[in-house]
Amino acid sequence: MAIGCIFIPVVLALVVIGGLFYLRSKASSSFVVPAGDVALVRTIPDESAPLMARFGPGRTLEITGRTEAWDWVQVRLWDGRTGWTLRPLDILVWRLDAPITQPVAPDVEPPAIVPIAAEMLPIPATSFTMGSPPGLGETDEQPAHPVSLSAFEIDRTEVTVGQYWQCIEAGECAPPTSDASTTEVNYLNDPAYDNYPMVNIPWTEANNYCHWRGQRLPTEAEWEVAAGWDIDKQAKYLWPWGSDPAAAKANVGETSVGQAAPVGTFPEDISPAGLLDMGGNVSEWVFDWYKADYYRIADDTDPIGPSQRRGEGIGRVVRGGSFSDPVDEARTANRRNQVEDYGNPTVGFRCASDG
C-alpha cells in the first residue's frame, strides 16, 4: 500500500513533466493570424505606438521575441525590421517559442500618414447618351443610347488602402488576395500606402465593403455619367477632363508614373462632376455583369446591366484606365470585364448610394 502511494504520484508527475516537454518541443517560432483577427504591428509593445504594418487572417508571422507576460510578441517584417503585436488570444502560450526581449524604439519611426476620409459628391437626376457612336470606340460601346438616371452620390476618390483596412479590422471584409502591387511587395501591409487605392480585391469584396459602409457599387451607367457628363453644357466628354487625350496629366498612358499613386495625386484627371482619377490610377469595379452586346437591349431608365442568372453576363464590368494602360482605355465610354472572383493589382473601386 505504501509503495503504491509513492509510485502513483511519481508516475503522474513523470507524465505531467513528459507532457510539458512534449508541448515545448512542439512549440513554434511562428504563428498564423487567426480567422477574424488582424495583427497590428507597432514600434513598441504599446497600443498607442506608431503602426508599422498590418497582417490579415491567414498570414504566417515569424516570432523573434516576447514580453515577459507573453501579452506582446515581436515579429519580423519583410525588410528585416521587427515590430510588436498583441498575441492573438486564440493562440495559447505553450504553442509559441520565443525569448524574452527588451523592447527598443526604432531610431526612425514610420512616417505619420494623414488618412484621406471617404467623401461623396452628389450627381443630380439627368439624362445622357451612353456609349459611343459608330466609328468611335469599341463595338461593345455601341449602339449609343439615351439613358435617364435618378439622383445618386458617388465617392470623390477611389477607396483607399487605409479605408478598406477599417473594414478588415471590423471583421466585415476579407483581406486582399495578394499583398503586393505591381511594384511593392507589401503595398497592402505597409501603412505608408494607406492613401493609395485599394487593389487586389475581388468584385465580391468590393461590393461587401460598400455594403459595410451602407452603400453599394455604382452601376455602369452611373459611373459613365459621373466620369464624363457635363450637366450644365449637356455634353459628354470623351475623357473625364475633356475631349483631348493630351489635355491633362493623368496616371495613364504617356503621363503614367508606372504604378498606383495616392488618390487625387493628378488634379487634372477630374470629371465635370468633380470626381478624381476617373481616367487613370487604377481601373474600377462597377455593379453590372458584362455582356458585349448589352447596349442593344439595355434599359433606358436606371439600368443595372444584364442578368447573370440567364447566362447573359460574363464577369463584371470594369471601368476607367489604369497606370498600366494606354490613354485610350481612359475614355469615359470604354468598358472591359473581369472575372468577379479574383483581385487584380490594377483594379480598385469606389462606392455610390441613392441620392
**Per-residue pLDDT tens digits for 85-95:** 999 988 888 88
Angle 161-169/203-212 helices, nearest 10 degrees? 80
Q: Write the CB contacts of 311 (distance below 8 Å, at least 6 apart in sequence).
A: none
Per CATH, domain 120-354 is 3.90.1580.10: yes
The CATH architecture annotation of domain 30-99 reads Roll (2.30)
Please state the rounded mean pLDDT for residues 283-295.
95
CA–CA dist 178, 197 (Å, integer): 14
> Does the structure show a pLDDT above 90 at 311?
no
> Does the structure show a pLDDT above 60 at 3?
no
H-helix or E-strand spanning residue 154:
strand 152-155
User: pTM (2 decimals)?
Assistant: 0.90
> Does the structure show a pLDDT above 70 at 265?
yes
Q: What percent of the chain has pLDDT over 70?
A: 91
- For residue 335, CA distances in Å to 5, 66, 140, 258, 271 come to 83, 52, 7, 22, 17
Q: Cell 492573438, residue?
A: 88
Strand partners, 353: 153
**C-alpha cell of 33?**
493570424
3-state DSSP of 136-151: CCCHHHCCCEEEEECC
Q: Cell 464624363, residue?
A: 228
Task: Please state the separation of Cα 300 from the chain's center in Å.
Answer: 32
Q: Are 320 and 279 in contact (CB under 8 A)?
A: yes
Q: SS3 of 310, please?
A: helix
Listed by start position, the domains of the chain span: 30-99, 120-354
